[in-house]
């Protein structure tokens, strides 16, 4: 289905199915756009490494993964409530590649709901992961900026912009180490960042992009950096 047809279906569903679960179309008694059963059945990223958000086996809850123990990321902790699987993967693809506002709104609601209240109140600023200007022009849509702007308004938190100073080659097919090398010195952040910032992106694969941006944020004055994203790609899917 083409992008404009998907957007057309999104608009039609928004008008024609008020009060229905966005996943199963069951009647909704509450304020959220999903029913309890579908919400519980989403691929929640639990347990996950508290350092990088890597999905963990059941017995590893609360422990940092081997990658974080060997080479801790430049950010202090990751907040990634969902895994990039099933319904969540479909929503991300429609949002990222088709610019579906309905999918984006759902992902934003899921991210906000998946963050505890004290975490939502923690940052002094949000910094979206930037696209290079050429990529932004080609795509016509910057998904991280879209999410961060709306999340910032919801949280009452200011938005600060970083720049992608180097148009890096695609990260697809690269392992963790090569991704880090690919992104070295790729970001510029203006001086004078507040002490606590949260980086915002849609999906985390290896965390290399967030790691590189965290280095730039610390150089610009931040003492603590968290990485926030909607979903994390499980290791076996990379």
Regarding whether 122 and 179 lie in a shared domain, the answer is: yes
Sign for the CA dihedral angle at 68, 69, 71, 73 comes to positive
pLDDT of 86 strictly over 70: yes
Q: Give yes or no: residues 131 and 34 share one domain.
A: no
Query: For residue 20, which of 11, 30, 10, 6 has the smallest C-alpha distance?
Result: 30
The confidence score (pLDDT) of residue 97 equals 86
Average pLDDT for residues 91-115, to the nearest whole number?
93
Strands (E), the chain: 77-79, 82-83, 125-128, 163-164, 187-188, 196-204, 224-232
Is 166 found in the same domain as 97?
Answer: yes
CATH of the domain at 109: 3.40.50.2020
**What is the rounded average pLDDT of the residues 112-131?**
96
């Amino acid at each position: 289905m083409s992008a404009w047809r998907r957007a057309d279906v999104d608009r039609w569903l928004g008008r024609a199915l008020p009060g229905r679960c966005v996943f199963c179309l069951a009647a909704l008694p509450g304020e959220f756009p999903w029913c309890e059963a579908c919400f519980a059945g989403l691929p929640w990223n639990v347990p996950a490494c508290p350092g990088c958000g890597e999905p963990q086996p059941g017995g590893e809850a609360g422990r940092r993964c081997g990658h974080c123990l060997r080479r801790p990321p430049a950010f202090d902790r990751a907040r990634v409530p969902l895994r990039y699987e099933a319904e969540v993967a479909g929503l991300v693809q429609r949002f990222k590649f088709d610019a579906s506002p309905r999918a984006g709104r759902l992902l934003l609601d899921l991210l906000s709901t998946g963050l505890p209240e004290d975490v939502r109140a923690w940052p002094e600023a949000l910094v979206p992961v930037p696209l290079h200007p050429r990529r932004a022009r080609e795509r016509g849509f910057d998904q991280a900026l879209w999410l961060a702007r709306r999340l910032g308004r919801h949280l009452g938190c200011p938005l600060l912009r970083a720049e992608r100073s180097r148009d890096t080659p695609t990260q697809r097919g690269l392992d963790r180490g090569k991704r880090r090398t690919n992104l070295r010195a790729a970001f510029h952040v203006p001086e004078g960042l507040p002490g606590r910032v949260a980086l915002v992106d849609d999906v985390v694969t290896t965390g290399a992009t967030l790691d590189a941006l965290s280095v730039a944020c610390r150089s610009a004055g931040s003492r603590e950096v968290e990485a926030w994203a909607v979903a994390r790609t499980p290791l076996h899917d990379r």
